[in-house]
């Protein structure tokens, strides 16, 4: 059933905007929640907000909110993106991939290609076939199981490494001076031309990420393809892949958000023309209200999560997804 665009109300737009801004960055699946919320509320919400319709105004609206989410990410990480874009420019100009910012820039470019191609080829099929409440509830439950599995595997690998790596005598290693930057990972040499801001935790994190291999970055980026399934989280998949490939929670979250920015922005930009066509007729005010809500929620979410993952894990989100997914499935099947 094709939804009349005029049926999208301001309360629906604001609630969905807030939901999008939070769930796009939390590892709990924004698409899964966008499918489940209308179905669970029922009534007008279920009628107005049908993401699986072939020509869905609601889908155009939701994906259009991605622009606001991406802008919030760009605002939060603006210093990082300034360095990354500068690194890409110098890499192309001097035909090299040597400095950390140059390596990180190409990691993001290469890691974005798999999900970009997959999204163009598979998004419509996956959404129309699987973008329904019952599959979304099932995949949300699976997302929770995956998040828990990532943590268990990561913990097991850390324990095994600690048991096999011999301790280094304290006398053989001079302590770092207070405030000194951590050593770079293998494969990334210090560059005297870099700005003197490596004491910044964000810069240090970017350098650790850039010290890894391009293969690792591509594998983490490819995990975003799983988010085409409604209920599987983009950030959860990349966070989990990062953990399995040896990144800390802090670095995995940071790389996940950097990888998500161009993908979310591109998805939103591709849908903007729809919002200025027949699908967006009569809802431009609702789009603006929803976008403002999404942008504020996204900025607050990334600010919270970057601090959260300095010391915490994916386990609480795993429990949330399993409980909500199974609870939604039982409710939907019993209805």
**Span 152-174, pLDDT tens digits:** 999 887 766 655 555 544 443 34
pTM of the predicted model over 0.75: yes
pLDDT in tens, 305-326: 999 999 999 999 999 999 999 9
**pLDDT > 80? residue 186:** no
Most confident segment among 44-48, 172-176, 243-247: 243-247
pLDDT value, residue 200: 84
Q: What's residue 55's pLDDT?
A: 67
* Greatest extent of the chain over all pairs of C-alpha atoms, in Å: 73
Q: At residue 184, does pLDDT exceed 50? A: no
User: Mean pLDDT over residues 215-242, rounded?
Assistant: 96
Which residue has better confidence, 296 or 267? 296
């Amino acid at each position: 059933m094709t939804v009349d665009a005029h049926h999208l109300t301001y309360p629906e737009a604001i609630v969905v905007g807030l939901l999008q801004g939070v769930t796009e960055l939390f590892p709990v699946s924004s698409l899964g929640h966008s499918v489940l919320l209308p179905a669970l509320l029922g009534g007008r919400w279920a009628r107005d907000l049908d993401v699986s319709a072939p020509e869905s105004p609601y889908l155009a609206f939701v994906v259009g909110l991605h622009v606001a989410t991406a802008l919030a990410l760009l605002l939060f990480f603006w210093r990082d993106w300034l360095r990354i874009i500068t690194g890409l420019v110098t890499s192309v100009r001097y035909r090299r991939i040597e400095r950390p910012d140059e390596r990180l820039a190409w990691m993001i470019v290469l890691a974005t290609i798999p999900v970009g191609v997959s999204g163009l080829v598979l998004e419509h099929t996956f959404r129309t076939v699987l973008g329904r409440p019952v599959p979304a509830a099932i995949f949300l439950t699976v997302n929770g199981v995956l998040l828990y599995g990532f943590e268990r595997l990561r913990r097991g690998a850390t324990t095994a490494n600690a048991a096999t790596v011999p301790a280094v005598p304290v006398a053989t290693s001079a302590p770092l001076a207070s405030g000194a930057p951590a050593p770079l990972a293998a494969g990334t040499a210090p560059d005297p031309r870099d700005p003197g801001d490596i004491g910044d935790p964000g810069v240090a994190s970017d350098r650790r990420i850039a010290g890894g291999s391009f293969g690792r970055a591509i594998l983490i980026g490819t995990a975003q393809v799983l988010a085409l399934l409604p209920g599987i989280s983009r950030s959860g998949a990349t966070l989990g892949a990062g953990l399995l490939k040896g990144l800390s929670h802090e670095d995995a979250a940071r790389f996940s958000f950097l990888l998500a920015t161009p993908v979310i922005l591109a998805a939103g930009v591709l849908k903007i023309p729809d919002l200025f066509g027949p699908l967006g007729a009569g809802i431009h005010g609702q789009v603006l209200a929803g976008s403002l809500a999404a942008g504020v929620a996204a900025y607050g979410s990334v600010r919270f999560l970057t601090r959260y993952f300095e010391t915490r894990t994916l386990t609480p989100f795993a429990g949330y997804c399993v409980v909500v997914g199974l609870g939604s499935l039982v409710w939907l099947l019993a209805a």
